[in-house]
Amino acid sequence: MPGPGGIDFLLTGPAGAGLQKKNILMSDSEHMHDVPVSPGAGSGEAHEGFPASPQGRGNWKAVLVVLLAVFIGLAGLAFHASRWKREVVVREVVIEGARIVSRKALSLSLDGYIGKNLQDIDAGALSRKLLRIPYVKSIELNRELNGILRVRVVEREPRALTLFHNRRMVIDSEGVLLPETPAVATRFPGLIWLSGITRTADAGYGLKKLSPADSSLVMDLAAALRQSDYAGLLIREIHVDRGGMTFCKATGSTTRFIVGSDGNFKEKLKKFEIFWQKVVSKKGLDNFHTVDLRFRDRIFTRDSVAPEIQQQLPLR
């Protein structure tokens, strides 16, 4: 029975939850409203207008505990890994990339590192030590956790031969002067000969190099010879002249093919090839003292018999 000013009604919950009887007192002036009841009422879930249950806050605490445990575990692994790395010693040295560099010189420089603590190796100091070996351009060191010290060598690239202070020397792609070795002679046969070198500068590590102007000229001319159709097969000597009269010589000939020092060597070597086809093949090479290739659409020659007489040969 309903009480005074109220109404009794039944609320049903989830299946099997039974019936709940509610009595809501209402004054005569109040109106009755439907009160929605969620099927999840009483399950501990938070709803709009109601605070979260203690059970939800407990889940966040569990997550934090798990994350803290993971962090502690990772920190422990890092500590043990660091300690283990400090105990690793060098058991083997592996050298890679050495083809013309003396392996004996490399091995002697690295021999004292066997048995040394891997983490105690000063990579910078070791690299500087190895860079003093001729033909070593750069060094890459890798310290591996299996006890291997891996040394990767980048070698200098021979480009020409020359005579410097009465000693045969190799000139690399950066103009650095290096001692000629049997390994270079074997791997780089037929290097072009360079003469007339008088200016050098310090290259570091006890080495010398060509002056910037001479180095640029020689490298540009050597590159043009490598890219030519067949001039690179015929020309075997470059003479650097400080007066701008740099010239080349073909194999077995004393004729000077003047290319100058102002670049544009591809065009000049093309004129050399045309002259060789049209004139040298008919008259022979030793009939000329000089062949000047510096001028556009013209080649000027001087006879070997009367070098004071200059002749002009059109290319067309």
CATH code of the domain covering residue 259: 3.40.50.11690
Same domain, 179 and 195: yes
How many helices and strands (H and E) does the chain possess?
A: 8, 17
DSSP run (H or E) holding 256? strand 256-258
In a domain, 33, yes or no: no
If one counts the domains in the chain, the total is 2
In a domain, 291, yes or no: yes
Residue 207: HSE in the Cβ half-sphere, 13 Å Cα cutoff: 24
Same domain, 299 and 231: yes
- Residues 209-238: tens digit of each pLDDT: 999 999 999 999 999 999 999 999 999 999
Domain boundary among 155, 180, 202: 155
Q: Are 104 and 162 in contact (CB under 8 A)?
A: no
Split at pLDDT 50, 70, 90, the class of 145 is: confident
What is the pTM (predicted TM-score) of this model? Answer: 0.67
Same domain, 105 and 141: yes
Same domain, 177 and 163: yes
Split at pLDDT 50, 70, 90, the class of 96 is: very high
- Residues 148-186: tens digit of each pLDDT: 999 999 999 999 999 998 999 999 999 999 999 999 999
Domain of 287 in residue numbering reads as: 158-314
In a domain, 302, yes or no: yes
- Can you tell me whether residue 269 is helix, strand or coil? helix
Same domain, 228 and 211: yes
| Torsion sign across C-alpha atoms 176, 182, 188, 191 | positive
Domain boundary among 104, 130, 155: 155
Phi and psi torsions of 203, nearest 5°: -105, 0
